[in-house]
Structure 1
């Protein structure tokens, strides 16, 4: 869920990432496809850098079509327009069958920082290592940012055990929505990362994506969702296809595909059926009380 500024030369596509999933258990970090960026493309990228911010990753790892690793790339994002509603989730908890989504608070920073010391995750998310102090500053920035909605993904089974555990001990990953189109506030880019190895391949990414889509539609007014995935990340592509996403574009520069889901009435009914078990509850910072 971190923002990263990366020069265009570093904006290579990644396989797997926080919104997508990418390779079988025990496999290497996945195929990282280097984009052959021509001089003209670099020039365009540099000309776009002013006034834009960098952002996270997407993805998951591939087991039975489910992704657990970032699949996007470090790329520039324009700031959202009139998107104050993106902070609505700061007091919201979403309870599913497998995962619990909670706002990203300072309690979660140490574990998140530990995850991001992994060279593999740094590579997949196009991130640079931060100090713990910088990580806390990043968390505060993300908490207040108006163009994104971020939840930490918790393991629901652990979270509901007794005695009540800390949220940090239940952390599995994160899920995000970004406003990616200044001219269309109803479009959100979804990203998911299951960073905790023991939580991969268990359906956490799929449910986290579904809960986030439901929340984005009902609370943020989103009617279209996009996922950007490295072309070599077939498991992530299959996962989003199972969630009714359709391929709409291919980038030869970043070697990634863009998949989109437009919420027709039939799709809304389908999403409601997939998430009718979801409970929305008030969240208190640091609260781990399951009930």
Structure 2
């Protein structure tokens, strides 16, 4: 395609759920409730892990950081979606789209790494309990969290710059609910094979490697638990890992299905649902998963509610 056929893109149009014109108000209400529940639920987890003396352990330190990350992650996409549904204006500038994608990639990579760190914490706690206080001291915990947050920043900024350095032509419409890589590739011109390779390399580094480390950790964890002589001990050990394992399955499961399934024009609706699943549904269920399956968290929440009532 020649340069004369290229369109100087200054904005895109996020189609979102424009194919459901009669449900815009309903969808706005649903997503508003979801966003508020994410803010309140993860906010409560963040507060109790900071103020409750019983929760000053590495596991809850990581959980508090994870809850804060979930708030940031959903805030990259949901407010814009709510604004588009409310105003019916779906235009997004090139710069705003680039910023949204950049933060989405940075926070998504951070989530993968932090889930890996949480799996390592459970591995040390169960497989090396005597050395746990020494290995997972506060300094190490802080270093692991900081590394999770900052290690992917330069790579993801570079990835975003590379994508938005592509020439865009033809339609300005992105058939998605937020600015994402695959919808942008569909309106890009020229050869994008190098960009696609870069995206897959990035996915291997920040998603597949942490996922494999999580799997490896849980293989050793389950093997250790099964060797415990007491049924009560086995049950208690499993309960400390089950919440994290459920969150891992939800997040990585939906992301893997979305990226490995065959791409076609008929699959764009399913892509939207899967994208919403790992960016919105998982953060929404995170507080429920950790609170309903954890007596310490439930007890801490009861203290908070009692203070608020009094």
TM-score over 0.5 for the pair: no
Higher fraction of strand = 1
Indicate the structure (1 or 2) with the bigger Cα radius of gyration.
Answer: 2
Higher fraction of helix = 2
